[in-house]
Structure 1
Amino acid sequence: MDANDLADQTRALSLSEDPEKTFHISDLKSDKFPALWYRIHVLVYDLRNFATDPTARERLESVVDVTYLGQPYFNAEEVAALTRTAVGHDGETLKERIQHTLEERLNRRLKKRVESGDFRVCAAHDLAPIFEKVFDINPKKLAKDSKFRSLVSINGLRLKSEEELWNGLGNGPPKGKKKGKKNRP
C-alpha cells in the first residue's frame, strides 16, 4: 500500500464517520475530487465500447464490484462520495438508484429468461444508462469528443497534469436550435 492509497482510505473513513452526508453532482465536478468527472466519463465510455476497445475491456474486467464503482476507476473515498450522491428530487442516492434499477431489471429477466437461465446483469445495457442519465452524459457526444478520446488513449484513467484537465463534454446548441442559425418568427 502506498501513501496515496493510505490517504484515500483515511479520507474514506472520515466520510464513513458521517453516514448522513449527501453529495451533489457539483461536488463530483469540484476540486475536492480532481479528475473524478473525467473518470466517470471514462467508465461510461468503457461500458459502451468494451466490445470494440480492448483497453476498455481490460479496465472493466479488473473491476470486482457489481456496480462497477471501484478500482481501477475510483478510489475508496470517491466510491463513498459517488454512492451517496443525490440523483433525484426525492433525495434518492446513486446507490439506491442502481439498486432499484437492477432489481427491476432482474425481476423482468426472471419473467422473460426462465428458460434460458441467463439472469446476469449486462453492464452496457443495465448500468451505462443509469450513469448516463444521472450524470447527464450523452454517449454519442462522448464517443465523438476527440479531446476526450485522445486523453483516454494517451492517459487511460489518470490525467498526468493540470494542463490535461478535462471540463466535460462541450455544450452544443439547445435542443431544437441548429448551431449558427437563428430562429425566425
Structure 2
Amino acid sequence: MTPKKKTKNGKKKDQDLEAAARPSPTKAIRTVADLREDKDIWYKICVLIYDLRNAKDKTSENRTLQTTDELYLSMPYFSPDEAAAIKAARLDDGHTLEHAITTSLQNFFEKRRASGDCRPCGPHDMVPVYMTCFGIEKSEIEDEKLLSRIRRSGLKTT
C-alpha cells in the first residue's frame, strides 16, 4: 500500500478527490419534495414568497428589487446553481417547476412583454402561482416561527 501524498495545505489527496466527487446539494434536487427536504433552499423559497406577499415592507421590497430573473429566482435569494436546481425540479406531472410557473403566467407574459416590463407583480401574480407550484399552504407562510426568523435573520440560513 502506497502512502497518501499531501497537498500544499496538508490535506490528503484522497480527501480532496472524495470531496470533489460528492455531488453538491443542489445537484441532488430532482423534485419539489427534494426542495422541501433541503432546509436552506426551502427557507429561501419561503422568504421569497413572504417578500412577494409583503412588498410594502422596505426590507422585503429591497430584496425583491435586487432580483434579475423574471421569475424572481435569482440573487439575493438563490445562487445561480440553486436557481437552476429550483427551475429544473420536477412536479408530479413530470413538468419542471419553471415550465409550470411560466405556463401559469403565459397570458401575463404576452401582454407585458409588449410594454417592455415582463416581470410579474409579486403579490398579485407570483404568490398564488408559487404557493400552488411549491405546494405551500397559507398557514406555512404565516407561521409565527417562520415570520420571526425572517424578521430577525432575513435570508441568512444558518
TM exceeds 0.5?
Answer: yes
Moved over 6 A (4+): none
C-alpha displacement at 1:125, in angstroms?
Answer: 1.6
- Matched with 1:159 is 157
- Relative to the length of structure 1, the TM-score reads 0.62
Q: Which runs of 5+ in 2 are unaligned?
A: 1-19
Verify the 8 A CA contact 1:151 1:159 in the aligned structure 2: no
TM-score normalised by L of structure 2: 0.72
Identity of aligned pairs, percent? 30
Q: Which amino acid aligns with 1:68?
A: Y
| Residue aligning to 1:104 | 107
Paired with 2:95 and 2:87, the residues of 1 have a C-alpha distance of: 10
Deviations 1:134-185 (A, max 9, x none): 112223x24531100110011101123xxxxxxxxxxxxxxxxxxxxxxxxx
Amino acid of the structure 2 residue aligned with 1:24: T
What does 1:26-45 align with in structure 2 at a 5 Å threshold?
A: 26-30=33-37, 33-45=38-50
Residue 70 of structure 1 deviates from its aligned partner by: 0.8
Quick one: structure 1 residues 46 and 103, their matched pair in 2 at CA, closer, same or farther if it must change by over 3 Å? same
List per-residue Cα deviations over 1:80-127 (Å, max 9, x = no partner).
Answer: 1101111241x11111112222222344x47xxx9xx69752122222
Q: How does 1:1-185 map to 2 (within 5 A)?
A: 23-30=30-37, 33-51=38-56, 53-89=57-93, 91-107=94-110, 109=111, 120=118, 121-139=120-138, 141-160=139-158
5+ residue gaps, structure 1, are: 1-6, 16-20, 161-185
Q: Note the alpha carbon deviations across 1:56-91, whole angstroms, 9 max, x for none.
A: 1111011111110011111122111101111241x1
Q: Distance in 2 between matches of 1:104 and 1:144?
A: 29
Q: Return the letter of the residue paired with 2:51.
A: D
Give distance in 2, aligned partners of 1:76 and 1:85: 14
Q: Which protein is richer in helix relative to its size?
A: 2
**Is the Cα–Cα contact under 8 Å of residues 47 and 128 in structure 1 kept in the other structure?**
yes
Query: Which structure has the larger Rg?
Result: 2
Instruction: Give how far 1:34 is off.
Output: 4.4
